[in-house]
Structure 1
Amino acid sequence: MSHVPLAIISVFLLLALVLVLQDRWRRGAFVLGVTSLLAAWFRLILPEIQAGLIAVRSKPFDVSVLVSMGVIIVWLTLSIDPLGTD
């Protein structure tokens, strides 16, 4: 059961990669940022044993790094002017 959160995160990372490879890099980067926030949520609510490989360091460290990274990536993708492209 501890592999389910990692599997969900992996599916979203694969989706982000597919979007980037299809030249939809803004959408792919947005999905990557949201995936980071989802990983932070999993790390926050799940006990250590169920977090699996999402748990790297202490819970406060993992959550703060994942939230920071996710917020920055989402903010950057939303702040870039599309100039008529997606």
Structure 2
Amino acid sequence: MSTLQCVHRNYTITTDIVEHPGIPTPWAGGCHITGPDGRTTRRISLPLKLAFLSELENAQRASIAHGKWLVDQSLDQGRELFQAKTA
């Protein structure tokens, strides 16, 4: 399985697709986002209603689109993208 990667507003978005064989929609979409400072998010899944797709390519595209939306929300709306470190 190949991973897709793109750069959006200086943030790198990398797909992280998980396969669940044996079900009609076996591809669970998700991504990691790396900021310009090198910090990387945990795996961020697609929203539950859209999380599982029947084709790998669609899961990858949806994961990239979701990552771009999250970056836009972080930069334009001030939503936190990276988890705060705990002591």
TM-score by length of 1: 0.37
Structure of greater relative contact order (alpha carbons < 8 Å, 6+ residues apart):
1
TM-score by length of 2: 0.36
If you compute each CA radius of gyration, which structure gives the higher value, 1 or 2? 1
Structure holding more strand per residue? 2
